[in-house]
């Protein structure tokens, strides 16, 4: 992929030629340099791929953004340059990042999972890339190893990846377009319009929809009751026991993946962010999650292991 600057990116957009254009950096991104670009009073969001993100398939990311645009789950997509990976979106005027407090308000909580369901279920739409959470986790494991540091708990992390992957593969997966990076900062909410948008589809793939539910549950520290309610809202009031089991196991796999991700980002990224702090939160939560006594119950549920001895 060709490396580019903000001035070079702006110069390539023919619709902006000869117009009054200004820009300023947007704080908060931890993967890419982002900019607010104003073109004769109209604002746009411009994203340039960050250093150390060559493993991200930008064409796949663009396809995910287009699906999100079409179903109303994401912002409008204006421009995309395949050679540089630069993408330009509408500026979400009046929107703010969702906070951890927001998810404790039922109206916003419900809207998150209805938007997510809409994105997962756009009829006839697929992404070029199919990649499970396990494939993503093993990829980050390899990149962290290349970066030169592995967690002291790595043996247990790799063991859990193996046994949970085996259990999930015993169950069926209905692959759908998934976001795969569902932390709070990737949701924007407009109070006046009571509207929610999902942004940042860099890690999107055809995947198990329960991965997205697991990631958002983890990143927002959902209680057990909230996990149950999340499954019901997502499934239009129905509780899915198999989906619940997968979601609980995916929470562990997700934290393993993102812990490895933080380690490789710490070695490779040029974004000013304390990736080791991110790593620490994942590891701390992970050590809590993997002590849940129900792990074997959930894995046996997915594998269809009989409860009683067969006569």
Residue 113, pLDDT > 80, answer yes
Query: What residues contact 58, with CB distance under 8 A and at least 6 apart?
Result: 1, 49, 82, 85, 87
Element containing residue 111 per DSSP (H, E): helix 106-120
Distance CA 82, CA 246 (A): 35
**Whether this model's pTM surpasses 0.85:** yes
Instruction: Give the pLDDT of residue 32.
Output: 84
Q: Report residue 34: phi and psi, to 5°.
A: -120, 150
Tokens of 193: 């319009």
265-300 confidence digits (pLDDT tens): 999 888 888 999 999 999 999 999 999 999 999 999
The 10 Å Cβ neighbour count of residue 84 is: 18
Distance CA 224, CA 74 (A): 28
57, 78, 178, 198 from 118: Cα distances, Å: 23, 21, 11, 11
List domains and CATH numbers for the chain.
Answer: 6-90 (3.30.200.20), 96-303 (3.90.1200.10)
Three-state DSSP class for 150?
coil
Average pLDDT over residues 114-131: 93
Query: How far is C-alpha 187 from the chain's CA centre?
Result: 10
Instruction: Give the pLDDT of residue 50.
Output: 83
217-267 confidence digits (pLDDT tens): 998 999 999 999 999 999 999 999 999 999 999 999 999 999 999 999 999
What size, in residues, is the chain? 311
Average pLDDT over residues 49-54: 82
pLDDT grade for 304, boundaries at 50, 70 and 90: very high
Instruction: Give the pLDDT of residue 181.
Output: 87
Average pLDDT over residues 38-53: 92
pLDDT grade for 128, boundaries at 50, 70 and 90: very high
Instruction: Give the pLDDT of residue 185.
Output: 87
Measured at the alpha carbon of residue 107, what is the angle toward residues 101 and 108, in degrees to the nearest 5?
45
């Amino acid at each position: 992929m060709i490396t580019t600057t903000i001035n070079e990116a702006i110069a390539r957009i023919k619709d902006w030629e000869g117009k009054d254009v200004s820009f300023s950096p947007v704080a908060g991104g931890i993967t890419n340099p982002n900019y607010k670009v104003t073109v004769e009073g109209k604002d746009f969001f411009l994203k340039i791929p960050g250093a150390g993100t060559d493993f991200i398939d930008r064409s796949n990311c663009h396809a995910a953004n287009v699906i999100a645009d079409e179903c109303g789950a994401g912002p409008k997509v204006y421009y995309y340059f395949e050679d540089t990976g630069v993408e330009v979106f509408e500026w979400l005027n009046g929107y703010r990042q969702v906070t951890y407090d927001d998810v404790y308000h039922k109206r916003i909580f419900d809207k998150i999972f209805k938007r997510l369901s809409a994105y997962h279920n756009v009829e006839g739409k697929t992404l070029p890339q199919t990649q499970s959470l396990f494939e993503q986790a093993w990829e980050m494991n390899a990149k962290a190893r290349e970066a030169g540091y592995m967690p002291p708990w790595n043996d247990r992390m790799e063991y859990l990846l193996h046994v949970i992957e085996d259990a999930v593969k015993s169950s069926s997966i209905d692959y759908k377009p998934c976001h795969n990076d569902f932390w709070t900062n990737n949701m924007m909410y407009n109070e006046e319009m009571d509207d929610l948008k999902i942004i940042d589809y860099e890690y999107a793939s055809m995947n198990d929809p329960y991965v997205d539910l697991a990631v958002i549950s983890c990143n927002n520290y959902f209680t057990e009751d909230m996990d149950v309610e999340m499954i019901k809202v997502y499934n239009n009031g129905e509780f899915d026991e198999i989906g619940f089991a997968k979601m609980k196991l995916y929470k562990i796999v997700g934290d393993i993946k993102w812990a490895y991700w933080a380690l490789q980002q710490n070695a490779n990224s040029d974004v000013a962010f304390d990736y080791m702090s991110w790593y620490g939160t994942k590891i701390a939560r992970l050590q809590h999650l993997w002590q849940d006594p129900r792990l074997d119950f959930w894995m046996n549920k997915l594998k269809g292991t009989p409860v009683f001895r067969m006569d």
